[in-house]
A and B are shown apart, each in its own frame.
Chain A
């Protein structure tokens, strides 16, 4: 499928955008492999960011989590855990990279707008207009135990706080008029009188009065990402975000349905349909042939879902501790206990119910799968497997049909996991005219093809 059938698709000239999601806390990074590097050494971050930049990626992306996860009465031991503060890590990368966007996931519940907006604006200036902010809304009291405020925010209020927080942040970023700083040393004052505004807000959530300390960056202010899948979260994105980091990027129909839902919400919010980029998180596994790719995918799954990880995932589904069972044996005979939501897992899905277990049992019986096999086959699906050419065709179709605008890629190996994408897949995409051959701008906003900020 090349340009020949370009007229058959709604967006024949659409371009694919890649970000790299350096995952931090997760069990998808195969830390047990000998080639797996340190998850905290700055050299690891630098190698991933520079590889992504070589592959003309839009962004290097860091997640956030403000409390270590727990399971079975203690710190969860199986997964990669421990990560740097994202704005600190990205400020360092700003000095060591040239073009790639630098996106920090930072939550609006356990930060304050004056402080966080200033940090992000600092990153934006230090990187020459390459900063992004993924706005998340962690709210649970369990995370709150690490903060002065404790678990202070009702679930219902978290997006309200996020919205007010973001509008305050924008006011901070827009607080300086263009040309606010004197042009020469003999001006009467360093800043032009009246050119630096104040930001004031007094609501039931915020009581703030501050003078912003920074001018606008080359891209105006940081690009706004959003990650959160509820209706409320999607509406928040439709009103405010430049990019959605979604979880709908593996199945074409699911991705298209999500994108159409977002476009509806954009119209309802009075924004143009092309005001927002949709970048689902994904994993990409590449082989020289389909068979080799499948074998590699099998190897990846076995590395990710160790027997202990399988038991951990099943424990969460069943609602009680299954560690010590045999992961290579059958599914537990007991019925699941649908435990009350204890808020310990942050992004845990609540829909894991008796139905899911019934489905798992049926499929395991039909296929003769062990518990671990079942988790591998039916647990969270991770992404795309194929040859460089096959994947390029598939992604071109996804993007030209408007199901996605690109992917936020999670490498299953760090720091080398992007290499085959950059070396093998990117050239195939370029050949199909669906991927840039050089950076055309210097800012993240330009990479994403977003309109300049007003």
Chain B
């Protein structure tokens, strides 16, 4: 039976997409940085039926420290939050934003492979980029300057991370009592990556992740299309998002949508106006933005289903909009079979209809055997 097409993801960093969202949060400001609050948001997203949550990040504070703006400047690392969320949920996919601009790709690969292990195959990775030179100073490393160099570090980092995931074939742990061998070294591979600015030997220190490779999400242009599983596309209308999706050339494309919904007490417009007293809601470049009723959003998402494979929602205020999404929007999408809840026990790849990749180092003979077994 074919599964419904539209995959549902939601970004849950901070208190919401608006920089002043914390003023409408259902908790005191300091509570943002607590496990209880993080587990609470994850539980709402999972119970609502989202397939995936993403968690934004940077080594820099989310808002300007002691600057004129009033935004939160506190944030727990996305990888740590993702691991915590993975352990406090059971079907939800979790994808932290991680940039390889300054980080060591060897560590990034281990972290994301481990996230896939602790989540039993529910890990994704939103490929990030540290554009602000202040990030270089925070890392204590020379600045990576200019779009080309930033793209090079993203691309090389992604290649190294993927190759390290592949560097243990699926059956490298043989536990052969007869020969006293725990590993079969012929199924472990040096990756011998040599790029323009560094080299990495391998293999990984982490056995191959349950999904083979965690699901890679990236905006088009940042990394070569063939390396990402999901393109995160913009577009001011559903048709434009569809064009961007077609041009992205990735197996799947998700449209980015900012959403502000009417709540029982206030309209979306009133809620935005309340926050605009503090700061404008600038949002991302040429992203879709929806402001209005739950029913209107259901219609928009239904229409989007004809253009893209999924959406990533960026709610104005998590505590308010997630509640409306879970009560009025997602149930309706499920009833109409526009979208479906992830099934218990499935990996994120399976939920998204993506195949589980064989290691690129797998020998022809091993690949033939796998094919035979799955036939």
Contact = CB atoms under 8 A, between A and B. Distances in A.
A and B associate in one complex: yes
Interface of A: 25, 31-32, 39-42, 65-68, 74-85, 87-89, 91-96, 110-115, 118-119, 121-123, 125-128, 145-148, 150, 181-191, 193-194, 196, 198, 206-211, 213-215, 306-309
Interface residues of B, number: 82
B182 A126 contact: no
A80 B23 contact: no
> Interface SS of chain A: helix, strand, loop or mixed?
loop
B12 to A, nearest CB: 15
B115 A88 contact: yes
Contacts of B25: 185
Contacts of B180: 32, 78, 306-309
A184 B22 CA distance: 10
Identify which of B79, B85, B182 gathers the most chain A CB atoms within 10 Å of its CB: B182
10 tightest CB-CB pairs across the interface, nearest first? A210-B138, A91-B83, A84-B114, A95-B87, A122-B80, A92-B87, A189-B70, A181-B30, A308-B180, A88-B114
B5 interface: no
B118 A32 contact: no
A32 B60 CA distance: 47
Contacts of B84: 91-92, 94-95, 126
Contact of A75 (B73, B177, B185): B185
Contact of A207 (B28, B34, B79, B140): B140
Given A190-B63, A196-B73, A210-B138, A88 B83 contact: yes
Interface of B: 22-25, 28-30, 32-35, 38-39, 59-63, 65-66, 69-77, 79-81, 83-88, 102-107, 110-111, 113-115, 117-120, 134, 137-141, 168, 172-173, 175, 177, 179-185, 188, 197-203, 205-207
B53 to A, nearest CB: 14
Contacts of B119: 92
Nearest to A198: B65
14 contacts: A65-B205, A66-B205, A68-B203, A78-B182, A81-B182, A84-B118, A88-B80, A89-B83, A118-B59, A147-B106, A150-B199, A184-B29, A207-B140, A215-B33
Contacts of A206: 140
A410 B206 CA distance: 20
B59 A114 contact: yes
Nearest to B39: A95
Contact of A112 (B23, B24, B69, B140): B140
Given A75-B183, A92-B84, A125-B33, A146 B22 contact: no
B28 A147 contact: no
Contacts of B183: 75-77, 81-82
B87 A31 contact: no
Contacts, number: 243
A184 B28 contact: yes
A114 B66 contact: no
B275 to A, nearest CB: 11
Nearest to B198: A148
B131 to A, nearest CB: 16
Contact of A127 (B35, B74, B184): B35
A114 B138 contact: yes
Given A148-B104, A150-B199, A183-B30, 10 more contacts: A39-B173, A78-B180, A88-B115, A91-B81, A92-B118, A118-B59, A121-B76, A126-B80, A191-B74, A208-B140
Contacts of A119: 77, 79-80
B72 A190 contact: yes
Contacts of A210: 59-60, 137-138
A77 B185 contact: yes
Identify which of B35, B75, B180, B201 gathers the most chain A CB atoms within 10 Å of its CB: B180
B230 to A, nearest CB: 22
B79 A88 contact: yes
B74 A82 contact: no
Contacts of A184: 28-29
Contacts of A75: 183, 185, 188, 203
A415 to B, nearest CB: 15
A146 B111 contact: no
B65 A196 contact: yes
Contacts of B188: 68, 75
Contacts of A189: 69-71
Identify which of A122, A126, A182, A188 gathers the most chain B CB atoms within 10 Å of its CB: A126
B137 A68 contact: no
Contacts of B179: 308
Nearest to A168: B140
A146 B104 CA distance: 9
Contacts of B85: 95
Nearest to A90: B83
Contacts of B168: 82
Contacts of B114: 84-85, 88-89
Nearest to B173: A82
